[in-house]
Amino acid sequence: MAEILSEPFFQRALLAGLGIALVAGPVGCFIVWRRMAYFGETLAHSGLFGVGLGLLLGFSLTLGAVATAVAVAILLMLMKRQRVLATDTLLGILSHSSLALGLITVGLVTGAAGDHMDLLFGDILTVSSRDVMIVWAGGAAVLLVLAFLWRDLIAISVHEDLAQAEGVNVQRVELGFILLIALMTAISMKIVGLLLITALLVIPAAAARRLSATPERMAVIAAAMAGVAVMAGLALSAFANAISGPAIVLSAGLLFVLTLVIPQRN
Amino acid sequence: MLKATNAILSARDASLVIGGRTILDRVNIDVRPNEIVTVIGPNGAGKSTLVRCMLGLQPLSSGEIVRAKSLRIGYVPQRFPLIPNVPLDVRRLLSLTLKPSEDEIDAALAETGIPHLKNATVTRLSGGELQRALLARALLRKPDLLVLDEPVQAVDFMGEARMYELISEVRKRHRCGILMVSHDLHMVMAESDHVICLNGHVCCEGGPVKVQQDPEFAKLFGPSAARMIAAYTHHHDHDHEGHNHHHDHKH
């Protein structure tokens, strides 16, 4: 069983997965703090359309996913200004129409959407060295921007009006955070898949919440939880032939259940 | 009515229309230094919205907000998530957008009567304790103006009186103005310099004595409320009559 650790494909998978986990922890905390789970999901779903466009027109799939996620985020911010439909309804509309559009676009290229299961559910065991590089470079960029926005983002998460009244530029910080989610979506789609990215963001953070007294500690614990989930999922994927995305998310879910046993501190 | 020019924060014909619904209709307010201005009105009257507009959190449809240069505002918002998702202790709550020293934090918490709660988790605070922590937070900004939106919300009856006492003390010590939204008519009548009855538009305004005799006030809160307040004020005549009288003339 230990032999597999020396296999290059497994090493790449481990490296890519842990890179994602490191970023998913802190970013996921803000998704939980800001109650943006559904928002993140919408961005991730819309990424598939970008991937389809990339396949169709022959440009980078990562770039395509980031671009459509950002476009949808901006569209959503504009649509929120009208007050006829509730935000969750808007998200429902955007999330699922963009997913449908993405499936059709990808289908146009491949003949059947089923051929791109890995986009939807991840395929961590087939990541290339280039994929690993994209994960770590993209992940480093996300963490850097996150560190820069950290204080303001926390102030906004605690109370948006209060932060704005005290001089935080809410719109700028929010836009920055949306870009982070878009980038996060793009780098993790090969690992967990577009359908399940939000789960990898939300579940470890939710599990860390009970064990944390400060925002920073919660971010670190969430990253560690995501790391454990990635390793467990990878093992499931390698030894039980499970699809990698669901395997990782299921492991995260089990971890969450385990933390419920620990008495809450805060 | 004479328009004073020394206001630190004013709304001028402030109107807000959202989705065809008029929330605020040409509202005028002046808050002057070291003055308590209270906005009262029924639910949905636009009180909190007016405050948000005056803080620049909500753009107006027409009219303007005039703010004195370098005015420092300490804001205590109405709705604060009682179970915030973010794990925070009180010290951190006070340092979200400022970087106060430990001494400053200690002093602010001592002033609002909760020096022992510096390391307490925010989610464990009672309604009153949270309000005090938020007030301490506002004081750290060394405000010229405190903006308090329903400061006794989620505070029990006994705590309510103490909270108002604290606000009164704080104003005297810091010599700051107060713009307050309150549903508590008793407090309004006892302490305010200027009362504004809001129901989308300004129904009536003036010193507390003048306002409670206004037929619009009775219309807004019902005749029984007006009688009740009258009785209350009468009971406290010896405390407040002179004070109110003075301000009635000022406006």
Record: contact B87-A218, CB cut-off 8 A: yes
pLDDT band, very low/low/confident/very high, at B84 (cuts 50, 70, 90): low
Q: Which residue of A has its CA nearest to B91?
A: A214
Q: Which of B57, B87, B93 sits opposite A212 (nearest CB)?
A: B87
Task: Return the number of other C-beta atoms located less than 10 Å from residue A10's C-beta.
Answer: 18
Q: What is the CATH number of domain A2-259?
A: 1.10.3470.10
Residue B227: per-residue pLDDT = 60
pLDDT band, very low/low/confident/very high, at A254 (cuts 50, 70, 90): very high
Q: Give the C-alpha separation, B221 to B199, whole Å.
A: 11
Q: What angle do CA A202, A151, B48 make, to 5 degrees?
A: 85
Distance from CA of A42 to the nearest CA of B (A): 22
| Domain spans of chain B, in order of start | 1-72+144-239, 83-142
Indicate whether B137 pLDDT > 70.
yes
Q: Which two tokens stand for residue B198?
A: 């809001």
**What tens digit of pLDDT does each residue of A76-132 get?**
877 776 667 787 888 888 888 988 998 888 888 877 545 677 788 888 888 899 999
Question: Which amino acid is residue A4, in one-letter code?
Answer: I
Q: Which residue of A has its CA nearest to B82?
A: A158
Q: Range with the lowest mean pLDDT among B78-82, B111-115, B144-148, B170-174?
A: B78-82
Indicate whether B199 pLDDT > 70.
yes
Q: What angle do CA A173, A176, A179 make, to 5 degrees?
A: 155
Percent of chain A with pLDDT over 70: 94
Q: Are B210 and B192 in contact (CB under 8 A)?
A: no
User: Which is more confidently placed, A170 or B3?
Assistant: A170
Distance from CA of B57 to the nearest CA of A (A): 7
Q: Which of B18, B88, B92 sits opposite A83 (nearest CB)?
A: B18
Indicate whether A259 pLDDT > 50.
yes
Q: What angle do CA A257, A249, A156 make, to 5 degrees?
A: 80
Residue B224: per-residue pLDDT = 65
ipTM of the complex: 0.83
The H or E element spanning position B195 is strand B194-199
Mutate to test the interface with B, among A150, A158, A168, A221 (most CBs of B within 10 A): A158
Percent of chain B with pLDDT over 70: 83
Sign of CA dihedral A119, A124, A128, A133: positive
User: Which is more confidently placed, B229 or B11?
Assistant: B11
List strand residue ranges (DSSP E) for B19-151, in order: 21-31, 36-40, 62-67, 73-76, 145-149
User: Which is more confidently placed, B75 or A264?
Assistant: B75
For range B89-104, the mean pLDDT: 94
**Residues belonging to chain A with any Cβ–Cβ distance to chain B shorter than 8 Å:** 32-33, 35, 82-84, 151, 154-155, 157-159, 161-168, 209, 212-215, 217-218, 266
CATH architecture, domain defined by B1-72+144-239: 3-Layer(aba) Sandwich (3.40)
